[in-house]
Amino acid sequence: MVNGLSVDVEAWFQVGAFEGVIDRSSWDSLSDRVERNVARVLDLFAACDVHGTFFTLGWVAERHGPLMRRIADAGHEIASHGWDHARVFALGREAFSRDVERARKALEDASGVAVRGYRAPSFSIDYRTPWAYAVLAEQGYSYSSSVAPIAHDHYGWRDAPRFAFRPLAWSPLIEIPVTTAQFAGKRLAAGGGGFFRVLPYAFSRWAIRQVNVRDQRPAVFYFHPWEIDPAQPRVAGAPLRSRLRHYTNLDVMAGKLEQLIREFAWGRMDVLAHREAQRAVELV
C-alpha cells in the first residue's frame, strides 16, 4: 500500500494562525526561510529514497524559481497551494478562479512542468464552496486534496466522504481528502500537520495502519517546511492557542517524520490520484 506524501510549501508567516497579526503587506520584508527548509526536506526524502508532492504557493514559486526546478528535477510533483494562502470560502468564485490561475502560471513558469494537483489553503473547500471544483476542472486540474472530512474549529467538512470522491458529474476530477481515523464512532484528524507534531508518534502509526489494513486505502499525509525549523522567528502578539499549535515540538519533528517515512511506503499524490480514480465514489 503506497501512501501519499505531501508538503505544503509556505513561509512561517503565511499560516492561517498568524493572519490576524502579520499583515500581508509586510511579507516581503520578512525572511521566508523557504530555501533552507525545503532543502532539508529534499535531503530527508533523498535519504529515505521517497518521492512526494510539493503543494506550493504561487507567491513562493515567483520568488524561488531555482528551488522549484530543484524540486521537480529530484522527481517530486509540483502542485498548487493557491496564490497567497487566502482561504477558498473567503474568496468567492471569481476571485478563486483568478487565484488558482495566477498560482498555476507562476508554478509552471518557475518549474517548467505542468501542474495538475491542487490543495486549498487551510483545507478551505467545504460545503460552502460548491463552485470550487468546477473552477478547478475548467482550469485543467485532475485532482484536489483540499478537504478535511472532520469537525474542527478552523476548518472541516464533516460529512464529506473519507476517501476519494468525484464531486462533479461532468468531469473526471477527483478529491482525495486528507486522512482521518475512526475511533468510537468519531472521525479523528490523522493526516499530519499540528496533530502529527503534537501527538505521540504511536497515534499516527495506529491511524495509518487502520486506514491501510482495515479500510484498505492509502493514507494522505501532509506537513510544512517551517515545522522542521525550530530557529524560525517567534511571532509576538499572536493568540496563545495559535502559538502553542505553531511552536510545539518543532525540534523533534524531523526525527518523527523520518520514522514515519521509513515505516510506511510513500509516493507522489498524482500517482495515488491515478490509482484512486477507479475507486472514487460519486458525491450525492
Report how far residue 191's alpha carbon sits from residue 179's, in angstroms, rounded to the nearest whole number.
4
Toward Zn ion, which CB reaches closer, 241 or 274?
A: 241
Stretch touching Zn ion by CB under 5 A, among 113-121, 124-132, 179-187, 236-244: 113-121
Toward Zn ion, which CB reaches closer, 6 or 210?
A: 6
How far apart are CB 282 and Zn ion at their closest, in Å? 28
Residue 126 near Zn ion by CB under 5 A: no
Stretch touching Zn ion by CB under 5 A, among 5-13, 42-50, 64-72, 98-106: 5-13
Pick out residues in 186-205 that bind Zn ion (CB under 5 A).
none
Report how far residue 274's alpha carbon sits from residue 238's, in angstroms, rounded to the nearest whole number.
41
Contact between 81 and 9 (Cβ < 8 Å): yes
Report how far residue 31's alpha carbon sits from residue 174's, in angstroms, rounded to the nearest whole number.
36
Residue 8 near Zn ion by CB under 5 A: yes
Stretch touching Zn ion by CB under 5 A, among 8-16, 17-25, 100-108, 263-271: 8-16
How far apart are CB 194 and Zn ion at their closest, in Å? 12
How far apart are CB 8 and Zn ion at their closest, in Å? 4
Q: How many residues bind Zn ion (CB under 5 A)?
A: 3
Residue closest to Zn ion, measured at CB: 8
Stretch touching Zn ion by CB under 5 A, among 118-126, 132-140, 199-207, 250-258: 118-126
Residue for cell digits 520568488? 63
Residue for cell digits 500517482? 271
Q: Torsion angle, CA of 148/91/14/28, rounded to 10 degrees?
A: 160
Residue 99 near Zn ion by CB under 5 A: no
How far apart are CB 1 and Zn ion at their closest, in Å? 26
Q: In the complex, which residues of this chain contact Zn ion (CB under 5 A)?
A: 8, 10, 121
